Amino acid sequence: MTVPTPQGTLYLVPAPLDFGCATQAPLQDVLPQGTLAVAACLQHWIAENAKSTRAYLKRVYAAHPSAHTLQSLHIQELPRAVHKKGDHPGVAHDFDARPLLAAALGLDGAPQDIGLVSEAGMPAIADPGASVVRAAHALGLRVVPLVGPSSLLLSLSVSGLNGQSFAFVGYLPQDASARNARIRELEALALHTGQSQLLIETPYRNAAVLAALLAVLQPRTRLSVSFGMTLACMASRSASVADWRAQPAALPLDLPAVYCIGL
């Protein structure tokens, strides 16, 4: 009879959405005790950036007692190629994350649980981390996602657009004519299939993207724009393009935004 080797669990640990913001709210406002309790217990981490992971865990330890110190943590960073190009299936470099999960296998001592975390929100959603999850499945590890904020889901719920069918399509092309063509393509998809189309943009391109959307979309198409979900400065507007044009909104264009196009 073979007794299976005990193995660690990979926890997908969400982070608050205030990364890089001047003011930060208490973690308890956006993370359940259940998530804080697991994050406080984990000594082994895989992260986009070790420094910001320590800053996050310092806040976790202030909210929930931990047996660990920041100095005693083992934090492995995802390689630079993953930062730049992502690690979702189909990208060229096909990063193999299995070596990062060695501590969970217990080959070299007791098996350790490992946390996967990104700068903000859910790891592996609009952020790197999918390669680590795939590697965990390939190694037969248990993978447990924890509850926390997602700017995509919060923005979709606050949009009032179709949440029974929706797509997240990432960023628009930077070239103006390619961007306009892509906006037309997404609008046609939304109008013909009823599927809401979500996209994101970095703060310094917000004004240009909003102007392009209002120039290209049809008047009766609905456009929702959401900024700073969960933050004190949170703002969102959902209206027809005609209404947007008639009453230009004073939205805080210095925050990451989620745009939603639909019926």
- The residue ranges that bind a copy of itself (CB under 8 A) are 12, 25-26, 28-34, 86, 88-90, 122-127, 129-131, 133-134, 136-137, 143-145, 147-150, 152-170, 194-195, 222, 229-230, 234, 236-239, 262-263
Buried b (16+ CB within 10 A) or exposed e, 10-30: bbbbbbbbbbeeeeeeebeeb
Contact between 77 and 105 (Cβ < 8 Å): no
d(CA 102, CA 139): 10
- The helix-helix angle for 33-41 and 50-63 (nearest 10°) equals 120
> Of 109 and 238, which has the nearer Cβ to a copy of itself?
238
Terminal CA-CA length for the chain: 60
d(CA 134, CA 176): 36
Contact between 187 and 217 (Cβ < 8 Å): yes
DSSP-derived letter for residue 144 is E
d(CA 138, CA 220): 47
Minimum CB–partner distance for residue 87 and a copy of itself (Å)? 9
Helix (H, G, I), strand (E, B) or coil at 174: coil
Minimum CB–partner distance for residue 109 and a copy of itself (Å)? 26
Minimum CB–partner distance for residue 126 and a copy of itself (Å)? 6
> Of 195 and 206, which has the nearer Cβ to a copy of itself?
195
Q: Residue for token digits 């400065």?
A: 233
Q: What are phi and psi of 236, to 5 degrees?
A: -150, 150
d(CA 97, CA 132): 5
Minimum CB–partner distance for residue 112 and a copy of itself (Å)? 19
> Of 156 and 213, which has the nearer Cβ to a copy of itself?
156
> Of 70 and 246, which has the nearer Cβ to a copy of itself?
246
> Of 69 and 116, which has the nearer Cβ to a copy of itself?
116
Residue 123, both tokens: 């790891």
Minimum CB–partner distance for residue 28 and a copy of itself (Å)? 4
Minimum CB–partner distance for residue 215 and a copy of itself (Å)? 22
> Of 71 and 164, which has the nearer Cβ to a copy of itself?
164
